[in-house]
Amino acid sequence: MKNEHSWSERRAYTERRRNPDRRSQPDEVSGGYRYPPWQEQKIQFITRYVFLVLGVLFFNTVDGIAPANWPVSQLNIAFLVYFFLNTVFFLHARRNTVHPLRYHVAMWVDIGMTSICVLNDPYSIPPSLLVYIMVVLGNGMRYGMRLFAESLVGCFTAATLVLSARYLISGTAVPPGLIFMNLFGGIILVYSYILMGRIERTRHELELHSSLDTLTGLLNRRALQDVAHTMFQRLQRNQQKFVMLFADLDKFKAVNDELGHAAGDLVLKTFADIVRSSIRATDIAARFGGDEFVMLLEDTA
């Protein structure tokens, strides 16, 4: 028993070293991702549909406008495929708002559709290049720094390849205005990434302080509800088991009555320290209220 207990303590210590802040912060921002609510994601899907309609109208209804490299029929097939995929993502997001894989796939579908439009834009300096900026900002500012970096690199790479293909196919020289437009756009995105990083750090610190119980340093009741909602969605998707522990301190009122509230506060702090040292870094502990505490243990029988 002693050896088993020592092994458990060493494992818990190692996990806490890897991720020391897990028990004291909400799961809304985790692993570089931000998990926005459904209403915020719905706005992004509506924006995608708006840009889709504008693209269809631009290439199909404007007099004198024809795709630079593809027939209109092929371009319309691409629009139809994009509409289908976006609708699938939309329906999936209504049921599962927390799904990082969908965030990535939908972002790359956006980049692909934008690249097709840039490739077929009839203007020498294609205004559709601006949509890349929308893709980067729309995904990066909504889903966190991880997608921000990926979309930034993805859009830069896609824009470079598509523009190279445009001028290799046409055999014309690259206009200087296009080079400067790309430089300005790149500077704007990199600057936005730097600012977004600072905003995310500040927001994270504010959320961290607002989510902690000031006395014990554990999550407070509001943060517990937010964390539990996100956690249950993830566990339901992955079919994982978990254990919820609910504990209160017997005769705690007597401590306050006989020894004073300062002694009662010391008891609560000490108990919180015991809880923190007894659970894994992946587990969640919160003060539910008064002398009541809740622990959520993932992947536990």
pLDDT digit string, tens, across residues 55-76: 999 999 888 888 888 999 999 9
Facing residues of 248 across strands?
A: 292
pLDDT at 16: 40
For the chain, residues classed under CATH 3.30.70.270 are 215-298
pLDDT at 174: 64
Nearest alpha carbon to residue 246 among 212, 284, 216, 281: 284
The topology under which CATH files domain 215-298 is: Alpha-Beta Plaits (3.30.70)
User: Per residue in 125-181, pLDDT tens?
Assistant: 788 888 988 898 888 888 888 888 898 889 888 988 888 888 787 766 666 666 676
Where is mean pLDDT largest: 143-147, 185-189, 192-196, 266-270?
266-270
User: Per residue in 31-53, pLDDT tens?
Assistant: 678 888 899 999 999 999 999 99
Place of tokens 């939908």: 106
Between 234 and 107, name the one with better pLDDT.
Answer: 107
d(CA 21, CA 12): 13
> What does the mean pLDDT of the chain come to?
81
Q: Return the amino acid letter for 207.
A: E
Query: Model-level pTM greater than 0.85?
Result: no
| pLDDT over threshold 50, residue 30 | yes
